[in-house]
Amino acid sequence: MSHGPRTVIFDLDGTLADTSGDLLAAANGCFRELGLGDLLDAKDAGVALRGGKAMLSLGFQRSGTHGAEEVERQYPLLLKRYEEAICERTVLYPGAVEALERLRAEGYRTGICTNKPEGLSEILLEKLGVRGLFDSLVGADTLAVRKPDPLAFTTAVERAGGAAGRACLVGDSDTDHRTARAAGVPSILVAFGPSGEDMAVLGPEVLLDSFEELPGVVERLGL
């Protein structure tokens, strides 16, 4: 058994916060600039949480215009738009702050491992007023690798001051599930995000219906 503090690492988009509204707005801004109008709407929240390139690809597919080259060209413009209005519609999921505070009060270290760029993640967490609830942050560009490479996860654990063998990952995607598997740790997948109904088929150790349940669930994992 590894010694050292127990650690709970969280994905960000679709796990801690619903960021889809601001992501969709940034993508639609790019499409409008190209004279294509709004190509995405609220029903595309699940795609938004997979990131900028997924949104651009879907929009161009729908409009029958532009290929992979334009996705690459628009991507930095999308990120710039997103950074300028990163927290207009974004909300933390109910109970997230309380769960984090309780875990920390019980001696757990907490960190973030996201495939969102690190700089944008920092800005968003500050604006949401929760940066201080995390001991570490590893983003898409923090290391040379990103999730599902387990190094992204283990780095988040180490930077939080925890031990890799006494940690778990809370996420909302197949990527998070595969990251946990590769790192040999339990995965807790949230059932309340846009992709919630797809999470059960992945067979995580825990399917989480609300953040209220998280501290108890983590305790039962016996990290």
- Which residues are known catalytic residues? 11
Helix intervals (H) in 92-213: 96-105, 118-128, 150-159, 174-183, 196-199
Evaluate the CA torsion angle 183, 184, 189, 194 in order and state its sign.
positive
CB 36 within 8 Å of CB 63: yes
The DSSP code sequence of 164-195 is GGGEEEEESSHHHHHHHHHHT--EEEESSSTT
Q: Answer yes or no: are the C-beta atoms of 168 and 188 closer than 8 Å.
A: yes
What 3-state DSSP class applies to 136? strand
Closest CA relative to residue 219, chosen from 106, 93, 96 = 106
CA distance 37 to 62: 12
**167, amino acid identity:** A
